Every structure is written in C-alpha cells, then in structure tokens.
Structure 1
C-alpha cells in the first residue's frame, strides 16, 4: 500500500550554496569511531527522496568509515521492496551491514557522481541502470540551524534530551517523525548525526527505463525495516555510529576489509 501524500514539495525561498566545492574532493580513509565500542561512517548523501509515484531513492557517499570508503544507492518500490546497491569492496562493510535484513535485494553496482553546478548533482549507476539528477538549496532557517549544529560537540548526540530536540526540529522542517537513534534491521543500535542539511529542490530519476516522477512530501515517513527516512527530500552532511555487536568479528572485518 502506498504512503499517503501531502502533494508537491513546498517552494520556500532558497539561498545559493556551493556543495560541489565542499563535497567533491573529500579524502578517503579507514578511521576510528567517535566513541569507544562503536563503528562509524562519515560523509554525505541524500538521506531520502520520496517521489509522487511511490518510489523512494537514497544515496550514501562515505569516503571515511571503520572499514574504508564506499557509496550506495537505495531504492524502494511503490510496493515497499527495498534494494541497496554498493560501490565498494564488500556488502557487509557498507550499508547492507545495518539495513540488509530489510532488503529484498543487495548487490554491487558502479555508482558515479558528477557535479554539474554548485548545488546540482548527477548520479548514475550501471546495473540496474539509473540516471538521477537533483539540485539542493538552503533557506534562512536551515542556514541558522546548520550554523548552530556545526558548533555543538559530538557528545551532544549522546544526551537523549538533545537528540529528542533535534527530532522535534526535524518535524518542524517537514521531515516527519525521524528517529536519530534506534535499532537497525541488523540489530545494531545506531545514531545518525547530520551536521548540515539542505532541501532537495528538484530531482528527476529514471531507473531501468521507468521515470520515478516528481519529488513530493509524504504524510508518513517511508521506512526501511523500522527505521524512518525523511518525509521529503533532504541532502545531509555528517556521520553515523553504531554499537559494535561482536568485537571479535568487528576486528576481523577491519583487518580484512577487502575479503568477499
């Protein structure tokens, strides 16, 4: 069954931004999580983008993580079936590590990114074939919130009252009922920590010959497993951290990040 929809995305006054300069040349690294006993991924992506056809896309670009760099494209059909495609050495060191149990399909694909303007991006994928273009913008409210968020310490994400405050702010921004901390489909307890957010102003996507329609804002958040994604298109810069479930297996995976 399709999510109920609240129509087209509102047209708030936008402010010019230059994301291409900020995001196109990020160094790759296999680093350490911000907190003991956690694994992490750091970078940016389209947190979620619902279309009026019922399809949903998402993009993750993590040049830095506990296991090394990777990119992923997520797709949900109008019927609710999720797929995650990984451009990286392993599925279990990328997004399927946390969200794979909620997917019908996980696999490898070549994901290419091209900045066509300061805030305009083209995403292509080989199989399945994807041609996805989008542009992002900010508003005076988002600009003020981003400035405040970047000066708050990472420790502020460990205080439940501050996390709830951020979730309430997300609702005020039209993102619906997000949960920044929760249990992933894999059983990992994770915290999503966006530092900067920008609205997706416009987008078009064609997946294996199917036009996915126009961006929209939903009345109910799309979910992957029990994890809600934004009710409207949002591009976010930040990181995520998940509690290590099995320290021995975690260290073995870090030691051999390229094994299939």
Structure 2
C-alpha cells in the first residue's frame, strides 16, 4: 500500500506537462520509494544511441538512500564508445555512483567530475562535462509517451515492486515505443537485483553531442542493442522521471574509483 506522500508525488507528476517542470518538481521535493536496499528518485535520459556507434545516458538523482547526509544527490553520464567500452562519469566517487552497480561491465575506471545541466526551454536540456562533453537533448510528448505516463502515474505501488509485472510493463513499453527490449527488473553486472519504475516519459526528438571535440553524429539505433547485465539500453532516446530500487548483493564487485 502506498504512503500518503507517495500518493501526493504521483498526483504531482500527473500534472507535470513538460520534462523541465517534472524534473524541477522531483528535485524540489524528492522522496525515496519504500523498501530495503538502495533506492533512488531520478530524472534522466534513459539512453540515446548514435549512428556512429556511440551511446549516451544521463542520470540526475536528487535523492539516493546510500548517500551520506552531506551529499544530497548526484549526476551521472554513461558513455559507450563504438567498440562497446563503457565509461561512467559522476559527480560522486565510484562507490557512491552508478559504478557501484555497473563497474564490472567495463575495464575503464569510473570518473569523478563536474556534470552541469541547463534547461534552454521547457523541452530542451543541455548537459556539460567541462572540457569533455557538450550534449543537447530535445524532448517531445507523443501519444504513446502520454499513454505510458498516464499508466505510470496511476499504477499501484505493488506493480512497481513485482518482477513479473515489471516484465510485462517493460515488454509492452519497448514494443509501443519501438525501442527494442526494455527490462525493468533483473540483475546488474555487479550482482545487485534492480527494479526500475519509469513513471513519466518523453521521446527524444533531436540531439547533438560533442565528446572530446568529436561530433557523435546523428541519432540512430545501434546495430546490436546495448546491454549491461540484464539492463537493456533503449534503441530510441527516452527521457524519464521515476524511481529505482537495487538490492544489496553480498558478492557484488567493488566499484572502481
């Protein structure tokens, strides 16, 4: 059963008409999902593939249960190069970032660095890693994303904690969005079990990214869909607001710092 605060959060997200508004609301009043293990509230770009073979993703966590009180949240940019090598950038050290779940999937150490975000308008976001990355993303709402957002903000909490329900939601969303396979529950490369609840969604309609001064080119699906453990990176750019849970894993690999 959902708590009154979770009910209020879902009602608030239902009335968020733009990604900028939704992201601002989550940042202003983040609430963690109930349960044990690591828990997050997040706005981000679930993933974006480029015809050049590069892949980018953004995670902006205004709240994460494992962070000390001195660190209220963190940002992370994920990059996959055309050879399939992943690099995880974050504003926090590796063990306090996404690398704690995904580091064993790459030979590259996690990178701690500033990550800046700026809304150019209600639907356009610019992400910057100084002297490294400049990435602009334009979002739009479509009939499909509106439908999925309406479903996401009204589903009972038990659906977001059920692996079988998440399996059905992920398969349906992937098919409706033309985004390839989407798995909302499974195992991360470092051994933790994840459950992801995307409660609002927008399609990426345009993007331009330069990494180390190199233009990553046009947006297009990868020849083979990228994956990290059981987590599938979508073959179409998607912006999301939602929550996530990762269980503790006794045998989880240590994140590289």
Identify the residue that residue 39 of structure 1 maps to in structure 2.
Answer: 38
Kept in 1, the 8 Å contact 2:40–2:63? The answer is: yes
Give 3-state SS (helix, strand or coil) of 2:206's partner. Answer: strand
Q: Does 1:27 align with 2:28?
A: yes
Partner of 1:3: none
Residue of structure 1 equivalent to 2:3: none
Per-residue deviation, 1:158: 2.6
Within 1, Cα distance between the matches of 2:28 and 2:156? Answer: 22
Any stretches of 5+ residues in structure 2 without a counterpart? 1-16, 251-256
Alignment-derived partner of residue 18 in structure 1? 18
Q: Which runs of 5 or more residues in structure 1 are unaligned?
A: 1-16, 247-259
Contact conserved, 1:217 with 1:233, CA < 8 A, in 2? no
Residue 11 of structure 2 is matched in structure 1 by none
TM-score (norm 2): 0.82
Runs of 4+ in 1 over 3 A off after TM superposition: none
- Bigger drift between 205-214 and 173-182 goes to 173-182
CA distance in 2, matches of 1:200, 1:189: 28
Shifted more, 117-126 versus 148-157: the winner is 148-157
TM (norm. structure 1) is: 0.82
**Is the strand fraction higher in 1 or 2?**
1
1:140 to 1:226, Cα distance in 2 relative to 1, 3 A: closer
Find the aligned partners of 1:164 and 1:225 in 2 and give their Cα distance. 15
Give the drift of 1:225. 4.0
* Pairs aligned (count): 228
Report if aligned partners of 2:194, 2:245 keep a CA contact under 8 Å in 1: yes
- Cα distance change, pair 226–140 in 1 and its aligned pair in 2 (3 A): closer
Shift of the alpha carbon at 1:149? 1.3
- In the TM superposition, residue 153 of structure 1 has moved relative to its aligned partner by 1.8
The residue that corresponds to 1:187 in the other structure is 191
